[in-house]
Amino acid sequence: MDKVYIIFGSKSDFEVYESVFKELKERKVPSTLKTFSAHREPKQLIEYLSIENPKLIIAGAGLSSALPGFLALHCDATVIGIPVSANYSGLDALLSTHQMPSGIPVLGTGINASKVAAEYAELIFKSKFSKIVLVRRSNAMAIQNAIKKAEEKLNNEKIPFETITEADYKEKDAIYLDFLELEKTKTVDNKGKFVLFIPVKLDSNEKDSLKLLELTKNGLWLGLNRGDNAALAAIKLLKQT
């Protein structure tokens, strides 16, 4: 992994991608910057990916925010997605970035969260991950269901993992998958470690999207109940670093 690829959907996203570039530069993480529209320039983007073969991408777009998911589908890179605020205070972009189908993981930040994206990119770039740790905070059914999905993916790939019940994040070489009950969680803190947060709830509603909007101001997130995608993302990172 020689650099981070910053790919955004439009030059109108300048403030966000320029902030990402500056944050990475301050952290001495090399990067390169491009703009491509997943809707208007899909062929050019696929060609660029085939030539460059990126391993780590920070991608962002507003509105439907198709770009992060498009990248996750068309290359083997770990994709960190930044929803860019446009309409609805960025809520539409947030949900489009986070709510990916099974098998296509995108690691989503909060709205315009360039600093969070750069922090996690630095951890990936400078770390050598050696283990995956599942954080089971309770035995709530929603948590059990999501953890089961993660365990199935890890077992299928014959990847060993540990399970803990307290979010202490003590080991710097670990990838933590922390399963959070959406209704009960007020804030998160990754404590400088590589933690992927997975919100869980058995029956969600429109109000939960506003809760997610607040929660995702910190941390890196998967879609609701997407323990499977969290595991796939962790497996990829384990192999790439």
Query: What local confidence, expressed as pLDDT, does residue 8 receive?
Result: 94
Average pLDDT over residues 171-189: 96
Whether 15 and 114 map to the same domain: the answer is yes
Q: What range defines the domain where residue 230 resides?
A: 131-240
Q: Tally the domains of the chain.
A: 2
Instruction: Give the residue from 144, 147, 142, 137 showing the smallest Cα distance to 202.
Output: 142
Q: What are the residues whose beta carbons fall under 8 Å from the beta carbon of 157, sequence distance 6 or more?
A: 235
Which residue reads 């460059």 in tokens?
52
Whether 139 and 104 map to the same domain: the answer is no
What letters, b where the CB count within 10 A reaches 16 and e where it falls short, cover 42-65?
eeebbebbeebebbbbbbbbbbbb
Give this prediction's pTM.
0.96
Q: Which of 78, 97, 126 is the last residue of a domain?
A: 126
Query: What local confidence, expressed as pLDDT, does residue 170 receive?
Result: 92
Whether 88 and 153 map to the same domain: the answer is no
Structure tokens at 173: 């070489």
CATH number at residue 13: 3.40.50.1970
Per-residue pLDDT of 70-128, as tens digits, reads 999 999 999 999 999 988 889 999 999 999 999 999 999 999 999 999 999 999 999 99
Query: What local confidence, expressed as pLDDT, does residue 58 receive?
Result: 98
pLDDT at 225 > cutoff 90? yes
Dihedral over alpha carbons 190, 8, 124, 231 (to 10 degrees): 70
Q: Which of 126, 151, 169 is the last residue of a domain?
A: 126
Distance CA 189, CA 67 (A): 27
Query: What local confidence, expressed as pLDDT, does residue 62 receive?
Result: 79
